Structure 1
Amino acid sequence: MTQQPDTLTTALDYAARGWRVFPLLPSSKRPATPNHRAADCDGTDAWCRTGHAGWEQRATNRPDWITRAWSSNPAYGVGIACGPSRLVVVDLDTHKPGSEIPEPWKTFEITTGEDVLDHLAGVHGGTITPTYTVRTVSGGTHLYYAAPDTARRFANTAGKVGWLIDTRAHGGYVAAPPTTIGTGAYTMVDDRPPAPLPMFLLDLLSRDQRPTTSTTPNGSPNAPQRTSSRPYRAVGSGDAVHSASAYVDAVIDAETTALNAAPDGGRNLALWVMATNVGKLINRGLITEHAALDRVLAAAAGHIAANAYDTYQAEATIRSGFHRAATRRSAA
């Protein structure tokens, strides 16, 4: 078995990459310093003479400071401050036995953040770029990506990208190899330099959780904005186009009725089923995906207004249904 490098050597290696590190308490993910809260800061700590300095402000890539810190306690773990290190770390967790699996992931039999991310990449036409990768103590995965050169400062997210997916950026940190907790250790599984943040993830992290909406007749701002109701691909005469349009309208009206009748606790599944069935219309060229998304979102407006899910969550479910329809078609 290959022996893990000591924490000081590894912390210095991270610093050489330009990453900002700080010590973690032995066998813990808690920062070793400061040992007081901001509310209790009295300015006597040398770091706090001009104001309270937390772990993010104390994170450093200076070799002398790093050597001094870990030489004082070789049992310290290593924390990496993501924001100052220009990193966005995607934290992929695993399903905890006994906890509920939400739809549509239950239907897909998906139980890991890695599979959720893979599914979302397919839905959004993206690619999970190979990058610096760490296996966590709990069996999850950390994907380290280089933060984009934009004016936007990415912050931490929890579930915004998808189920079992969190991200760490400004205001966040990760425990890094060879940090140990109990009998487990964080281990590096891919040592390549961090790749640029994939475009589909950049889009998901940059977007507002509630896409553009329009006001409904009753004044509710929750109904998605609809585009033209004539997005169908014309094949043949005008009568054929009208027939196709009428057929699409009939299918969507029937699916909307079923969606509106969905009971509490089954609304998300009903939305996914509707999206899967409307996805078949997309496969047949009767409606574009963009227009189908608008119409299914409009059908879900009542559930969105009732806070069964928000518009962003509804869109993710709909795209998953479209993806399932397309997958079944390709496998047929």
Structure 2
Amino acid sequence: MPRPACQAGVCDEVTLLPGAPCATGVCDGDGTCVECVLPENCPMGQLCIAQQCVPPTCDDGAQNGMETDGDCGGPVCVPCSPGGACEEDGDCQSGVCTGGVCQAAACDDGVENGGESDVDCGGADCPCGPGDACDDDVDCESQVCTLQVCQAPACNDAKQNGQETDVDCGGPTCPKCQDGDSCQSGTDCDSGVCTGQVCQPPTCSDNAHNGQETDVDCGGPTCPKCQTGEDCLVDADCDTGTCDNGQCVDPCPPAPPPPPILPPVSAARCSCPAPPTASAACSRAASNGSATRARPASSTRSATAAPPRAATATPA
């Protein structure tokens, strides 16, 4: 804006420098009075944009107002990203301001931040345990979020969780896995055989008691017969053809033939002296026969006996 001036004894007009006070603000240096040419020309906290004083905004590309960094921080603008300047935790997206710098969210910073659904847990990086708050299954270790609460793993929740090796099977507490399911060891599998981390179907040569076998690799309708001492269910499971009390045993030897039936022994046959092996009954019969034959001879001898001698006189 020109103003009257005396130049070398001659009345003239000169242009004021930019920022020089004028009637409605400051000079722009081109002879026009404007509201501002610099932020300093505006009330505290306001900006000079297009030679006009305006209040700061959170998208004006400058750190102004109560911001702690460019367009962030403070009570009005959004919190600052990790690495932005801050004065307190509330100035930061993570809620953690350390040393005047906003920190990245972590699973051990004591604050619910980042993608967490509860303090230091939730999301793919910090899964929550049973009882913690959740927004979705992915927030939980068990992969089961019910009514916004993480549930404990179970063997019937249609998720592979806990110590399971596949969905609802394997591990120390759930049922055995079936052929084709994932496993870590043979104990995870119904067949008892885990090869390449996959449960295998039973065979008669896998060194495991599985399938319809009654013992390791034997018995049942498809495997070889079991040997003596091995487990069985029926005689057909055993090579010996005999299953006794659940074990294959050698068959019993054939029973000895019954003794021959001898004809009755008569008394006449026992008239002779009985042999040493004759029965007591036979010996008694022999004795009785001998006595019967001896008695008639004795009677004869008595009948023909000599008459008694006469008495001999005794000399006087």
**When the two structures are superposed, what TM-score results if normalisation uses the length of structure 2?**
0.19
Structure having the higher Rg:
2
Q: Identify which of structures 1 and 2 has the higher relative contact order when contacts are C-alpha pairs closer than 8 Å and 6+ apart.
A: 1
Higher helix share: 1
